Structure 1
């Protein structure tokens, strides 16, 4: 145990207990603890009961000065806020100096990176190897059902209703949502379950198992996606290669739905967004589509109007 953990041993232990009780995933627990340890190190041994809003802002300013993205800065703020919220709820502290601090403004109008349908088909064709059926099912759940990486990671066999062809998904905000399994996806999901690796624990319920016999981790899914995207783009010049990641498959799903006429509220429900404002980032339309839409607008009485010009 290092000096930092000795100084804040009770608070760190309490925070971890609070996150576990609240149902935070192991991945989130690890990320939040890393952020909180960084914050505590910034305090130089100051007792948490004496921490003011100024100290939290000072830490977030130091984070910004390191050049991290606004999204990362906001996550670190959320981690610290959760720490004080936990300690307040567990009656170890009575104040939360991280509350009320404004978030950094992220670029909400930036178009998300996604794959066109033909590109998506080529990406899925690039899936190969010993665990192809598992990996293909993972990517299909993300690209044709909109699941997040963490949601794929937490899937259990019991979440899949084979008869009804529905999937129960445990998403952000610890909320469940039901998603119909498309007819084209079901056979691949069935095959992946049939080929499921034998877990080293007999009672392991995870739908996707790693070669080590454990639940397929978030980092494992991201690594498999990175390798597949690398093969997918292998014939492109490096200057034309894009920064694809597993999350881009979810972007592709949302984009396809909207292009095929799905309403925004339905897309929100399928993606598991708590606010429809988050879903509006997917309403990006290319210049080509704008031009095609405008070209369909015609003035039927153009000859009559010409005389007034």
Structure 2
């Protein structure tokens, strides 16, 4: 996985999935397992995992067998004989309206509030993934040029222009940054112990913010908010503001414009506005 360029997070997730799969074989050698063993394992996860999660599990098993074949430890890949689960299409992504996002910012707190504000703004106004926040280094912040260089999915670098206000915030974060535990630590966001802020810590910062926001907005209590929903909010906001979808694709770091297309949804107010243009001839039906 390292050779193929998988991120540390993906490596850990795949390794976890494969360990669980091997345990499910109950002593059967991996190269002796067949299609039905793979299916049985996926079915066992049906009550705890959705279609997308099970498809990721299948991808992990396929990658595992591909590695066994490369190392001449297996002759075939039974996971290739298993079809991926069908997933819901055209499902509108969960996102915050712009005024809701602004209201959420008021609830960003913590001992290191400037750092936490910077993290939240990068996700919601630059569309960064939580892993990209985690990997961001000091050298990736080009304040003079007004950009950040993001190392994203597929081991691709992407230059993101940073809004003026956010440039100022990131400048404050850099100045207030705690001296790292290790002299060579280049992480932009560090913990109180001077170590690179983990993905889990970043998710916790967002989770506490969302919890405080929902307390003040009980009407949104059932909305499932997360770091990735801020990325949804960013893309939706750009498209609603008339930004070309090809530009949104590049800013989001998508490999295909089809991925960006999920954000071209319309909201309820736009639907109502469209329907208000319909004129039903009342006289003709009475």
Q: Does 2:229 align with 1:248?
A: yes
Mapped partners of 2:150, 2:115: distance in 1: 18
TM-score by length of 2: 0.91
Q: Which residue of 1 aligns with 2:178?
A: 197
Mapped partners of 1:215, 1:74: distance in 2: 31
Mapped partners of 1:242, 1:178: distance in 2: 32
Q: Which residue of 2 aligns with 1:76?
A: 57
TM-score by length of 1: 0.84
Q: Which residue of 2 aligns with 1:221?
A: 202
Given the alignment, which residue of 28, 40, 53 partners 2:22?
40
- 1:196-244 per-residue CA deviation (whole Å, 9 max, x = no partner) reads 1221111011111011221111110111111011111212337744221
Given the alignment, which residue of 142, 153, 157 partners 1:161?
142
Query: CA separation of 1:294/1:128 partners in 2, compared to 1, >3 Å: closer, same or farther?
Result: same
Q: Which residue of 2 aligns with 1:9?
A: none
Query: CA separation of 1:253/1:203 partners in 2, compared to 1, >3 Å: closer, same or farther?
Result: same
1:5-154 alignment to 2 at 5 Å? Answer: 19-64=1-46, 66-154=47-135
In structure 2, list runs of 5 or more residues that go unmatched.
280-286
Query: CA separation of 1:297/1:264 partners in 2, compared to 1, >3 Å: closer, same or farther?
Result: farther
Moved more, 282-291 or 189-198: 282-291
Mapped partners of 1:67, 1:221: distance in 2: 24
Query: CA separation of 1:156/1:91 partners in 2, compared to 1, >3 Å: closer, same or farther?
Result: farther
Query: CA separation of 1:91/1:194 partners in 2, compared to 1, >3 Å: closer, same or farther?
Result: farther
Secondary structure at 1:233 match in 2: helix
1:232-271 alignment to 2 at 5 Å? Answer: 232-237=213-218, 240-271=221-252
Q: Which residue of 1 aligns with 2:284?
A: none
Given that 2:214 and 2:220 are in contact with CA atoms closer than 8 Å, whether structure 1 keeps it comes out as no
Secondary structure at 2:2 match in 1: helix
Q: Which residue of 1 aligns with 2:282?
A: none
In structure 1, list runs of 5 or more residues that go unmatched.
1-18, 299-309
- 1:162-201 per-residue CA deviation (whole Å, 9 max, x = no partner) reads 2211111111122221111122211111111111122111
Secondary structure at 1:177 match in 2: strand
